[in-house]
Amino acid sequence: MEKEDRAYKAHCLVVPFPTQGHVNPMLQFSKRLQRKGLKVTLATTRSFRKLSSPPSTSIALETISDGYDEGGMAVAENIGDYLDRFREIGSRTLTELIEKLSDLGHKVHCIVYDAFMPWPLDVAKRFGIVGATFFTQSCAVDNIYYNVQQGLLKVPPSTDEADEILVPGVRVPLRASDMPSFVSVPSQYPAFLRMVVDQFSNVDKADWIFCNTFYELEVEEADWMSKFWPLLRTIGPTIPSMYLDKRHEDDKEYGYSLFKPNSDACLKWLNERQKGSVAYVSFGSLAELGAEQMEELGWGLKNSNIYFLWVVREKEANKLPKGFAEAISEKGLVVSWCPQLEVLANEAVGCFVTHCGWNSTLEALSSGVPMVAVPQWTDQSTNAKYIMDVWKMGLRAQADEKGIVRREEIECCVREILEGERGKEITKNALKWKELAGKAADEGGSSDRNIDEFTAKLVQHANVHVAS
């Protein structure tokens, strides 16, 4: 360790927002930086560290405090209070951590921080070190929030589904139902809206802007952002190498997990199925479906008569339709969590019924698995729009006037992808995106070059600093 530490070229402190879908992409990015010769320390909150099982990684792990060490966001009065306290206690404990690392001989040269919390940039500036903001959502979604922040897009833009909304930096016209929910129904999520808009509050002062996407996927969107911030770089997808460019055999593990996967059961079951015959169904780590939606989804899957692997988190299991387990017999497997990347990489999986979280979207894209989009909230509707109409690698299941996707619609979309004519075209496109994602991350690919450029400039900066 001593020897390795002395060999590093510069030191990055990476500070993610404390949810699984934010920590893991930044951990993957950390691994890529480390492979380029940087020392990386990842600082999660104490509460996140307590609640999750840590990955086995050579990245140094440290903690800061969000002011809620015994439970994190879940025990805060509301998200607004949480963010305010995190800013206050987080700034102080991040400062202490930088001082501690410096005392130990590991001077920090750069803070890479999640754009959901803009305050680490102030800490970086106080120490005179480089500040790099990391956007964890798509550039299209970032551009929507930026337009809101600039007052160029009113909130909500329209509530009439017939209206086409043109947003600068978004290449397709959007309907109200394609907008991020924080923008389309702001009264439901005032604190979240403030958080996503505040991502841009001090971004002009950031030295670098990283986006977890890849250039070929969002050319127009990334170019539009780059007009304002020339040091914006696409560095994704942030997925372990063995599921992407396959350059590093030891890089297979995804990272932190708040839930324990039923890995053996899932993979054994999938290995007994034929190629492209299974629908994998998951709504990520946070979404809570209503009982009626769960029921429609369940019976839709059953009625499709297609094999399915459905992740229903333990807390959600009480919403499974009555008599469901007996009714599906060997056609379906319901688990409480699974190793998603391994599942998507399994050749039995032919489609992914997803809530369109950005990580799940990137993972499906990088694995070449077509999607049935069933977005729930936050940026998922915009991701669904792009999946269907821009990247043409999936279908969006239409909800009824109550906002519920009915069983017939689920059945129809799954069958269309696995058995229909459109499905063949969609699967072809999905494989194209898989190839492009792998190339972006591979040596000399767009994301790899961007990471090289950042590393080289940071090392230069660190050397100048040592010399002066």
Q: Contacts with ligand UDP: how many residues (CB under 6 A)?
A: 18
CB of 74 to ligand UDP, least distance (A): 14
* Options 284, 370, 438, 445; binder of ligand UDP; rule CB under 6 A: 284
Residue position matching structure tokens 């990015």: 29
Contacts with 173 (C-beta within 8 Å, 6 or more apart), sequence order: 164, 165, 166
Angle at 139 between CA 133 and CA 125, to 5 degrees: 15
* Options 30, 41, 47, 282; binder of ligand UDP; rule CB under 6 A: 282
C-alpha–C-alpha distance, residues 272 and 183, integer Å:
44
**Which residues in 356-375 contact ligand UDP (CB under 6 A)?**
357-360, 363
CB of 64 to ligand UDP, least distance (A): 21
**285 lies in the binding site for ligand UDP (CB under 6 A):** yes
C-alpha–C-alpha distance, residues 131 and 208, integer Å:
7
CB of 363 to ligand UDP, least distance (A): 5
CB of 3 to ligand UDP, least distance (A): 34
**Active-site residue, from 66, 109, 114, 178:** 114
**337 lies in the binding site for ligand UDP (CB under 6 A):** yes
**262 lies in the binding site for ligand UDP (CB under 6 A):** no
The span of 61-69, 87-95, 297-305, 332-340 binding ligand UDP (CB under 6 A) equals 332-340
CA within 13 Å, CB half, 309: 29
CB of 164 to ligand UDP, least distance (A): 28
Q: Which amino acid is at 454?
A: F
CB of 219 to ligand UDP, least distance (A): 22
Residue 22 annotated to the active site: yes
**338 lies in the binding site for ligand UDP (CB under 6 A):** yes
CA dihedral sign, ordered 161, 384, 450, 39: positive
Q: 190-222: string of b/e by CB count within 10 Å (b at 16+)?
A: eebbebbbbbbeebeebbbbbbbbbbbbbeebb
The span of 214-222, 352-360, 386-394, 436-444 binding ligand UDP (CB under 6 A) equals 352-360
Give which of 134, 108, 104 is closest to 32, Cα–Cα: 134
Query: Judged by CB, which is closer to ligand UDP: 86, or 337?
Result: 337
The span of 179-187, 282-290, 319-327, 393-401 binding ligand UDP (CB under 6 A) equals 282-290
C-alpha–C-alpha distance, residues 426 and 333, integer Å:
25
* Options 42, 97, 311, 412; binder of ligand UDP; rule CB under 6 A: 311
Enter the DSSP assignment of 405.
Answer: P
Q: Which amino acid is at 404?
A: I
The span of 81-89, 106-114, 291-299, 354-362 binding ligand UDP (CB under 6 A) equals 354-362
The span of 106-114, 119-127, 353-361, 433-441 binding ligand UDP (CB under 6 A) equals 353-361
Provide the CA 67 distance to its chain's centre, in angstroms. Answer: 24
Please, which residues bridge with residue 43 across strands?
Answer: 62
Q: Which amino acid is at 199?
A: Q
Rounded alpha-carbon distances, angstroms, from residue 122 to 99, 145, 210: 15, 21, 18
Which chain residues interact with ligand UDP by CB under 6 A?
20-21, 24, 282, 284-287, 311, 337-338, 340-341, 357-360, 363
Catalytic positions, please?
Answer: 22, 114
